[in-house]
């Protein structure tokens, strides 16, 4: 029946959307340099807040334009689908990005260790 399908979709959607924030933040932490991490998180939070504030306005305009809540919310849900697809694409690059970050940090640590030794010799 229709109520069973809606319940299943709602349950799966809740599971999927609940983990997005922590996954994005952990990934961002692992793939940005410590010197630019603050800027990266500031941008993430700024756009997240814009989405929370403007999302309802956008859906309200869609309700008026489309003549109903169901059609408007279906369009709104497409945004979540696109976000999920982008998160899936990150899965294919995140390991390489983390390795690159670790290599950069290792080089920086090695440089900081070698420089004082050269000054002392």
Does pLDDT of 46 surpass 70?
Answer: yes
pLDDT of residue 98: 93
> Crossing angle for the helix pair 2-18 and 69-91, nearest 10 degrees?
40
Among residues 32, 18, 52, which one has the least CA distance to residue 105? 32
Q: Hunting for tokens 């609940």 — which residue is that?
A: 18
The pLDDT of residue 115 is 75
**Residue 25's pLDDT is what?**
92
Which pTM does this prediction carry? 0.70
What percentage of the chain reaches a pLDDT higher than 70? 98
What is the arithmetic mean of pLDDT over 98-108?
93
How far is the C-alpha of 48 from the C-alpha of 44, rounded, in Å? 6
Per-residue pLDDT at 119 exceeds 80: no
Q: State how far the Cα of 28 lies from the Cα of 37, in Å rounded to an integer.
A: 8
Q: Which of 76, 78, 69, 83 lies closest to 16 in space, CA to CA? A: 83
Cβ neighbour number for residue 24 with a 10 Å cutoff: 16
Q: What is the DSSP letter of 1?
A: -
Q: Give the residue carrying structure tokens 């306005």.
A: 57
- Segment 53-89, tens digit of pLDDT: 998 898 899 999 998 898 888 888 888 788 888 888 9
Residue 121 pLDDT exceeds 70: no
């Amino acid at each position: 029946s229709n109520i069973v399908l809606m319940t299943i979709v709602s349950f799966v959607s809740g599971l999927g959307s609940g983990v997005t924030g922590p996954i994005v933040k952990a990934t961002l932490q692992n793939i940005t340099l410590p010197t630019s991490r603050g800027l990266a998180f500031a941008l993430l939070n700024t756009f997240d807040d814009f989405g929370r504030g403007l999302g309802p306005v956008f859906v309200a305009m869609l309700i008026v334009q489309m003549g109903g809540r169901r059609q408007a919310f279906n369009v709104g849900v497409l945004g979540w689908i696109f976000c999920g697809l982008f998160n899936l694409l990150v899965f294919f690059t995140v390991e390489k990005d983390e390795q690159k970050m670790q290599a950069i940090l290792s080089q920086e640590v090695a440089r900081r260790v070698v420089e004082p030794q050269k000054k002392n010799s």
